[in-house]
Amino acid sequence: MSKIFQRTVLTGLLLGLLATLAPAACAQTRDGNILPVTEAYKLGADAGTPGTLKLHWTIAPDYYLYRGRMKFTAGPGVTLGAAQLPPGEKHDDPYLGPVETYHHGVDASLPYTVAPGTTRLQLSVQYQGCHEVEPKICYPPHTEHLDLPLPAAATAAPSPAAGNALGNALQQLGGTQSAPLPPEQAFRFTAVAPDPQHLLLRWTMPKDYYVYRNHIALRLKDADGLKLAAPAWPAGGVVHQDAQLGTVTVYFDNLELPVAIEGATAGRRQLTLEASFLGCQDGGVCYPLITRDVTVDLQSGAVANGVTVPGTPVATGAADVATTSPAGPTPGGPIQTSLFAALLLALGGGLVLNLMPCVLPVLSIKAVGLLESGENPARRRRHALAYTAGVLASFVALGLAILALRSAGHALGWGTQLQQPLLVAALACVIFALGLSMSGVVQFGASLGNAGAALASRGGAAGDFFTGVLAVVVASPCTAPFMGGALAYAFAAPALDALLVFLVLGVGLALPFLAIAYIPVLARWLPKPGRWMETLKQVLAFPMYLTAAWLAWVLANQRGADAVGLLLVAMVLLALALWWFERSRGHGALRHALTALLALAVLAPLYLLAQLPATADAATAQQGTVPYSPAKLAELRAANTPVFVDMTADWCITCKANEHAVLDGATFRAALERTGAVYMKGDWTNEDPAITAFLQQYHSPGVPLYVVFPRGGGEGRQLPTVLTTGLVEQALEQAAR
């Protein structure tokens, strides 16, 4: 008997046994929370699209459906085509072999034709699934009989204008749950200019309405010398399987779309923008191509509502009337700071940066390295100079990157590299490796000072240089006092002036170690080297582990629990590679090859981590806050409401310190209630072009940024980066007058 025949017989016997025993098993385990089959798999059907039946299963937690066990049988007068099912999760079933399963839910499309005179769509749908946790049980194949009315021709959408072929193809998507709205009510379109070089476009839609991402066309009218850059598409698009267009991305509820203007807008007050787009009602009609014109004021920041272009086909209703309402203040022009003042701020900011919690763990490495140099002045100077070279090289590289992006029309803020989850994960692994070195698991070079290399197992000056590089990388989430003004100047200044500011920031960060190396009086304050230093090194490993844990928390807010799991796997592989590296010293090439292989294995979970989608904005889940959007800010200001705007990020240590000390306290909440102010929060943990535009508007190099907008209009008041309760209360009281 062949193996194929044996498997076929075994499968048939198994399914027959399941069909016989499963009902009794379900009855016996009702107390064990096994659901009835129709509750475990809720089937919904939508016959609104002529020629296509849409089916949806809502699958309860801990249950799954077999893809290969779905069968569809036509009723009288109905001919079914091949069912369109998405790929399932591949699984090796102990009895059925390789299978595909669905969890949570699944959609299927079933094409059909009907014979003349057929008025009902009748068919049978069979499916089978299992409960995957204790008590584990599989249901017998279950069949549901559907008897649905066929869609009438009268329910089709209004025909679009002649020549609109795509509108004809998209006329009808499915059975409507309610009458379609006029396009002016279904798709409200506004535009605002946060500054003269940027537009922010917003589509606002009722529930179950959406617009297509790839069918939005934008152009400037009568604007010689100006053009629009590629839009910065936000996260939040939904992948949708369209019957005519295939796989597309759509936006439900609202879409905020930042677009940069290329070309000089100086002296120009207004621009006219034409926006064309396609939209649909989910399960209902699709609208013909909609075209709206808006005239945007580049100086006042007023919000302009879209007006339907004359001649554009509409369903019913009148065109929107253009209106304006006050938005946020426009930029106050160039920063009034001299180069000399900016350099003084940069020097002070770099010095204070040494005291910030994000930098202290790395500085402990450098401090112990200086201690190990003992009474040898030459060694101390070599340590300090190599470290300073790493710091200055990193600041220059950062300055050059900012200048390059600025010349290309892009923006880069202080700390924005930590918006990249892959960099956050890599930095966590580097910090973790440093901690292992300080704990004695592995040694890079002859001393702890050389462990700062962590990026390469080098000793001497290379280790000190990379310690300086690492200090700049981990310093980026912090904004120390004095730094804000210096960085704001650098982000807007000419190229040479900007590089000078970044160099002086580096000098400030490295200055304490240069002073210890070159001032004998300070060097004499250092304690004598001894055996106690080994204990100190091991103790200082724990701040490194805490830093890695903080980076893992940042990663969780960016990409969720899956990202943290992958990071932990990468750290375990890294620890294994370093442990084996230490054991392999002095052995043959084979052991070193295994070390390299283990190190390469660390890249696999990091690659998977980089593919994870962004999580939802954390600010939306916080009680008592309103998520930032330019349109919402304009709406609140038009209603004469004071607004406290907080631009923050999970990787910003200064932001978290302010929240703990001031913004999360009862005093701040009481001040908001007393003044009637709204607390609006923008989360810059992930990239957000709207927040970037707001930061640029206030010449802020990054977060935190706090702006209090007064009642009755007027410019917002920008607060310092380090808050106090008294300062915030005073600002809110003044804004409420």
Distances (CA, A) of 347 to 304, 500, 505, 612: 44, 11, 5, 40
Domain limits at 474? 339-610
How many Cα atoms occupy the beta-carbon half-sphere of 350 within 13 Å? 26
User: What does the pLDDT average to over 692-708?
Assistant: 83
pLDDT band at 727 (very low <50, low <70, confident <90, very high): very high
Report the C-alpha gap between 433 and 572 in whole angstroms.
11
Q: What does the pLDDT look like over 589-641, one tens digit per residue? A: 777 788 888 889 999 998 898 888 776 544 444 667 898 888 888 888 888 89
Residues 505 and 553 in one domain: yes
Q: Is residue 586 part of a domain?
A: yes
Q: Is residue 157 part of a domain?
A: no
* Bridge partners for 169 per DSSP: none
Residue with tokens 């999580």: 615
Task: Answer with the one of 123, 151, 179 that is the final residue of a domain.
Answer: 151
Report the C-alpha gap between 324 and 407 in whole angstroms.
33
Report the C-alpha gap between 610 and 606 in whole angstroms.
6
Residues 594 and 651 in one domain: no
In the chain, % helix, strand, coil (3-state, to 5) comes to: 45, 25, 35
Model pLDDT, residue 218: 92
Please state the separation of Cα 449 from the chain's center in Å: 36
Model pLDDT, residue 530: 58
Residues 601 and 624 in one domain: no
Per the structure block, which two tokens stand in for 582? 């230490």
pLDDT band at 670 (very low <50, low <70, confident <90, very high): very high
Q: What does the pLDDT look like over 430-489, one tens digit per residue? A: 888 878 887 878 776 433 333 333 443 344 577 778 777 877 776 665 655 566 666 666
Model pLDDT, residue 699: 75
Residue with tokens 């959007």: 629
User: What does the pLDDT average to over 325-340?
Assistant: 48
Q: Is residue 319 part of a domain?
A: no
Count of beta carbons in the 10 Å neighbourhood of residue 224: 7
* Bridge partners for 295 per DSSP: 272
CA nearest neighbour of 493 among 337, 724, 694: 337
Q: Is the pLDDT reported for residue 98 higher than 60? A: yes
Who's near 471: CB < 8 A, 6+ residues apart? 359, 362, 363, 366, 387, 390, 391, 509
Residues 192 and 49 in one domain: no
Model pLDDT, residue 126: 92
CA nearest neighbour of 290 among 227, 239, 233, 215: 215
The residue among 88 and 480 whose pLDDT is bigger is 88
Q: Is residue 201 part of a domain?
A: yes
Looking up residue 721, the CATH number of its domain turns out to be 3.40.30.10
The residue among 548 and 353 whose pLDDT is bigger is 548
In the sheet that 105-114 helps form, which strands lie side by side, from edge to edge? 41-49, 52-59, 105-114, 78-80
Q: Is the pLDDT reported for residue 311 higher than 80? A: no
Residues 257 and 277 in one domain: yes
Q: Is the pLDDT reported for residue 24 higher than 50? A: no
Q: Is residue 326 part of a domain?
A: no
User: What does the pLDDT average to over 134-163?
Assistant: 64
Output the furthest CA–CA distance in the chain (Å, rounded).
103
Residues 392 and 479 in one domain: yes
Task: Answer with the one of 104, 125, 151 that is the final residue of a domain.
Answer: 151
**Are 351 and 363 contacting, i.e. CB atoms less than 8 angstroms apart?**
no
Residues 129 and 218 in one domain: no
Model pLDDT, residue 3: 47
pLDDT band at 319 (very low <50, low <70, confident <90, very high): very low
Residues 469 and 345 in one domain: yes
As for how many domains the chain has, the answer is 4
Looking up residue 142, the CATH number of its domain turns out to be 2.60.40.1250
Residues 588 and 627 in one domain: no
Q: H/E element holding 188?
A: strand 188-195
Model pLDDT, residue 674: 92
pTM value surpassing 0.85: no
Residues 142 and 172 in one domain: no
pLDDT band at 398 (very low <50, low <70, confident <90, very high): confident
Instruction: Give the orientation angle of helix 460-475 with respect to helix 495-518, to 10 degrees.
Output: 120
Q: Is residue 29 part of a domain?
A: yes
Residues 207 and 296 in one domain: yes
Model pLDDT, residue 175: 38
660 secondary structure, DSSP code: I
Residues 388 and 438 in one domain: yes
User: What does the pLDDT average to over 207-217?
Assistant: 89
Q: H/E element holding 13?
A: helix 3-28
Task: Answer with the one of 566, 586, 610 that is the final residue of a domain.
Answer: 610
Model pLDDT, residue 161: 36
Q: Is residue 316 part of a domain?
A: no
What is the torsion angle, in degrees rounded to the nearest 10, for the CA atoms of residue 74, residue 79, residue 81 and residue 87? -20
Distances (CA, A) of 456 to 372, 433, 452, 593: 21, 11, 9, 17
Q: Is residue 568 part of a domain?
A: yes
User: What does the pLDDT average to over 532-553?
Assistant: 79
Q: H/E element holding 566?
A: helix 561-583
> What share of the chain has pLDDT > 70, as a percent?
72
